[in-house]
Amino acid sequence: MAYFFNETSHTFNEYLLVPGYSSSNCIPSNVSLKTALVKYRKGEAPAITMNIPLTSAIMQSVSGDKLAVALAREGGISFIYGSQSVEDEAAMVARAKSYKAGFVVSDSNLSPEDTLADVIRIKEKNGHSTIAITSDATANGRLLGIVTSRDYRVSRMETSLKVTEFMTPLEKLVTADEDTTLKQANDIIWEHKLNSLPIVDKFGNLKYFVFRKDYDAHKENPNELLDEHKRYVVGAGINTRDYEERVPALIEAGADVLCIDSSEGFSEWQSRTISWIRDRYGDTVKVGAGNVVDGEGFRFLADCGADFVKVGIGGGSICITRETKGIGRGQATALIDVCHARDEYFKETGVYVPVCSDGGIVYDHHMTLALAMGADFLMLGRYFARFDESPTNRVAIGGNYYKEYWGEGSNRARNWQRYDMGGDKKLSFEEGVDSYVPYAGSLKDNVQMSLSKIKSTMCNCGALCLEDFRKKAKLTLVSATSIVEGGAHDVIQKETSLTNIK
């Protein structure tokens, strides 16, 4: 006979936090949201720690290189989607990793014989206003000059004009040799009031640029998540089919952490994938796994060697797995169960395997509830799809702006690898929908607002860090009537009444 869980499966919306005592020290500015991304042994520090508990979903409509940079600036990590060719995903990772390296390899290069039309073209393509002019139009050719937006005016110059006629030549540039440290380079930039400083080798070949804006960006984003080389930390999604080809390419491109992207992770396929990675890279390559919805699934993946485990099946806003296949579990109940298993595993083995809550987040306060229930960090799709930095188009519908958003199991994405069960290489039926989400503006503004709400609630519960929050949080189930009571009710809201006046 089938096994029946006695407890009803609950969602985040069915819970509230009961405030606890908060001292005068419990103010949002004192709250730390730092959290472990990957497993670690008791008494040791994790190899990767995030400054905020947010990651972006492994989805075509969410996680490209632009969003990876924006989220890393805020202290989180984006997992660039894997439902594309190995080469394209590796290129996305490489672009995100090179965006801020302190010393940046130039990806906008021309020769003196190119024209203003080429300058305009390359600026439109890469979005960069500083273009290196080298002898062979490559990133490491002999430096002859640079072109910036101050060197030309499209309205006053013919597009056929050669670059050599308007570039700033080498003899007028301030440069530095390849032994220059980042601190020295920044000092030179400030001393000479430069926007960029070319770094050249002893033969005059261009090696890197150091940009003033990178120094400014660091001061404006104190939480930005950087690796040991001052590059943004970037994640990438993999699958259980082509990992032997995809993993080496992503590691070569600079990916800091990988995650197996699957709708259901309690499988031999994930065990094989993790084993292959461990056999070839040991513990140097960090890889998360999932998704699971109970303690048994968590323990399986933890024993396989997963660096973190994702929780959630069918709870995403565009996911219809529960509807089409009848599998899944309410996200709150699944998360509580898995986090309990994580804590028991830690007691038994001394190894702490972080838990990622993936799906079920509708409102900002659901993030706080997920963290209170034990999640070390969250993976969000719809939330990030709304922002300028997501890869999708912004469209106007009925006078309002929206962003396109589709599931990996939709007919549009056709990410069959995510739902692979060893059969034909195709998506037999849809497990996701194609949709729109209301456009919300920049990632930075929205993330900071969401985090301010999390910090405020943590203070209400007397907690200044996530570890204390999990210990001190008091959660209560609420009735359907209580949910109604919690919103605006029994009033006529002004914006509603005014729109009805003709």
**What is the model's pLDDT at position 501?**
46
Whether residue 143 contacts residue 171, with contact meaning beta carbons closer than 8 Å, is answered with no
Average pLDDT across the chain, whole number: 91
Confidence of residue 429 (pLDDT cuts 50, 70, 90): low
Confidence (pLDDT) at 324: 80
Gap between the terminal Cα atoms of the chain? 63
pLDDT confidence of residue 325: 78
Instruction: Give the mean model confidence (pLDDT) for residues 410-429.
Output: 58
- pLDDT per position as a tens digit, 314-361: 888 777 778 787 888 999 999 999 999 999 999 999 999 999 999 999
Q: What is the pTM of this model?
A: 0.81
Overall average pLDDT of the 287-307 stretch: 97
**Is 386 an active-site residue?**
no
What pLDDT score was predicted for residue 416? 45
Give me the catalytic one of 73, 231, 329, 418. Answer: 418
CB-neighbour burial class of residue 316 (10 A; exposed 0-12, middle 13-18, buried 19+): buried
Q: In what order do the strands lie in the sheet with 394-397?
A: 394-397, 400-406, 434-438
Q: Predicted confidence band at 502 (pLDDT cuts at 50, 70, 90)?
A: very low
33-74: pLDDT as tens digits? 999 999 999 999 999 999 999 999 999 999 999 999 999 999
Selected catalytic residue, list 26, 259, 304, 319: 319
Beta bridge partners of residue 134, listed in sequence order: 143
Cβ atoms 463, 68 nearer than 8 A? no
If pLDDT is split at 50, 70 and 90, which confidence band does 244 have? very high
172 CB neighbour count, 10 Å cutoff: 9
Q: Which three-class secondary structure state does DSSP give residue 155?
A: coil
Q: Give 3-state DSSP helix, strand, coil % of the chain, rounded to 5.
A: 35, 20, 45
Catalytic annotation on 319? yes
Q: Which amino acid is at 111?
A: S
Encoded tokens for 208: 């890197």
